[in-house]
Chains A and B, each alone.
Chain A
Amino acid sequence: AQKITQTQPGMFVQEKEAVTLDCTYDTSDPSYGLFWYKQPSSGEMIFLIYQGSYDQQNATEGRYSLNFQKARKSANLVISASQLGDSAMYFCAMREGGDSSYKLIFGSGTRLLVRP
């Protein structure tokens, strides 16, 4: 069974609008962490935002926020005020077992294209 599911292979958004990228996960471990990475066409993976399973508040980092709905096992990434430079692949990933663990499980990714 897929542990991380990203159901949107590709998405478009108009510049300056907000966009939500979906991610659902599957784990029975009470301690886990969720990550979002951005991969521009240059290839390197850039860490964007992190949400721990015990965090009470949704994570935010600048224009990125994570809509964490624990009961639904979803961790959607919201990008506000999209910019042309946001065009990239976006990957959701999960680490099970708490901070002492280090393996990440990645989803298949969503390609976002920002239109001018």
Chain B
Amino acid sequence: DVKVTQSSRYLVKRTGEKVFLECVQDMDHENMFWYRQDPGLGLRLIYFSYDVKMKEKGDIPEGYSVSREKKERFSLILESASTNQTSMYLCASSLTGLGTATYNEQFFGPGTRLTVL
């Protein structure tokens, strides 16, 4: 089974702090994603990565950065946390579509509920 793990289930930080959210997947997936989930808005893509050291902005990248130094690990960084970044953060991974016979569905971690005070 694919396993995607996130470093914390719950996190409380103060405004202005630098925050690191870590995500690790164990199925050698090329693609990794960071979403935030807010009530009534569904999941919105922050950043994704299709290879080591490669990243692309999603729909709401402002205030966030990412790092992918190893294939299995994708980190989301809040350089200076603000209260409007209080949210649920979900990490996901998937295979690329090329030459595979799967749906290339995304597999999700359990989420990190971040509160910024």
Who on chain B is nearest to A46 by CB? B108
CB of A98 within 8 A of CB of B42, answer no
CA–CA, A12 and B111, complex, Å: 26
Contact of A103 with B by CB under 8 A: yes
CA–CA, A42 and B110, complex, Å: 7
CA–CA, A52 and B31, complex, Å: 20
CB of B90 within 8 A of CB of A45, answer yes
CB of B108 within 8 A of CB of A44, answer yes
CA–CA, A90 and B92, complex, Å: 17
CA–CA, A32 and B98, complex, Å: 15
Main secondary structure of the interface of A (DSSP, over half): loop
CB of B98 within 8 A of CB of A100, answer yes
- Min CB distance A43 to B, Å, is 4
B80-117: which have CB < 8 Å to A? 88, 90, 92, 94, 96-98, 100, 103-111, 113
CB of A108 within 8 A of CB of B40, answer yes
> Could you say which of B43, B48, B107 has the most chain A C-beta atoms within 10 Å of its C-beta?
B43
- Min CB distance B49 to A, Å, is 10
Contact of A106 with B by CB under 8 A: yes
- Min CB distance A54 to B, Å, is 13
CB of B40 within 8 A of CB of A9, answer yes
Known interface pairs A44-B110, A47-B106, A108-B40; A103-B45 also in contact (CB < 8 Å): yes
CA–CA, A95 and B96, complex, Å: 13
Contact of B64 with A by CB under 8 A: no
Q: Which residues of B contact A109 (CB under 8 A)?
A: 42
CA–CA, A35 and B98, complex, Å: 19
- 8 Å CB contact of B103 from A43, A50, A103, A108: A50
Who on chain B is nearest to A51 by CB? B103
A102-116: which have CB < 8 Å to B? 102-104, 106-109
Residues in chain B within 8 A of chain A (CB atoms): 9, 31, 35, 40-45, 48, 50, 58, 88, 90, 92, 94, 96-98, 100, 103-111, 113
Residues in chain A within 8 A of chain B (CB atoms): 4, 9, 33, 35, 37, 42-47, 50, 91, 93, 95, 98-104, 106-109
